Amino acid sequence: MRGYLEELTVNRLTNTQRLSLKIVAGDATALFDEYGTGRELEISLSIPRKKRSLDANAYCWALIGKLAEKIDGKPKQIYRELIRDLGGNYETLQIKTAAIDAFERAWTKGHDGRFIEMISWDEYEGLACIAAYYGSSDYDTKTMSRLIDRVIVECREQGIETMTPKEKYELMKDWERRYGRMA
């Protein structure tokens, strides 16, 4: 569903707030029918991001494939190493150690690039701090461009031919034309 925040009403006497949304894409009636009124809910909102083009994704994977062939590596492993080294593309979470496996299964399901890494853990408290990495399917154009730049650097170090800077510029301009301004 997509929409806009319309109005916020704050009642200082009862210390309550009422938020009004305008739905412009999707149908809220099914949600309303399912949850009704009077139930406490956990609510999450986010600003939609422009998705990157599949052409850029195809180019990224073509280079990763050439790199894997050149260094006798596995494409998925190379992809994840590039993601790890990218920076700014993960969430740091504190989670019960007993829940890590279930979280990892849910987080990575259907996503080659998503993975988790343990940062620290406290056996006494039964808690761990993990990094949950996003894969390229989650990236906006700015982050995808950074990933492609990293792949290009790795390929050039191995003597693999890549796009010229002008060709890469044209690829990024194509993103802008198709999906709006780069994030």
Same domain, yes or no, for 68 and 27?
no
In this prediction the pTM is: 0.63
Instruction: Kindly state whether residue 41 falls inside one of the protein's structural domains.
Output: no
Same domain, yes or no, for 62 and 148?
yes
Same domain, yes or no, for 20 and 64?
no
Task: Give the domain range for residue 28.
Answer: 2-35
Half-sphere exposure of 31 (CA within 13 A, CB side): 7
Same domain, yes or no, for 146 and 62?
yes
Instruction: Kindly state whether residue 64 falls inside one of the protein's structural domains.
Output: yes
Instruction: Kindly state whether residue 43 falls inside one of the protein's structural domains.
Output: no
pLDDT for the residue 30:
78
Instruction: Kindly state whether residue 46 falls inside one of the protein's structural domains.
Output: no
Query: What is the spatial distance between Cα 136 and Cα 138, in angstroms, rounded to a whole number?
Result: 5
Please determine, for residue 176, whether its predicted confidence score (pLDDT) is greater than 80: no
Same domain, yes or no, for 31 and 61?
no
Mean pLDDT of 18-46: 81
Determine what percent of the chain is predicted with pLDDT higher than 90: 45
Same domain, yes or no, for 68 and 102?
yes
Query: What is the spatial distance between Cα 139 and Cα 49, in angstroms, rounded to a whole number?
Result: 9
Query: How many separate domains does the chain show?
Result: 2
SS3 for 129?
strand
Same domain, yes or no, for 84 and 22?
no
Half-sphere exposure of 111 (CA within 13 A, CB side): 20
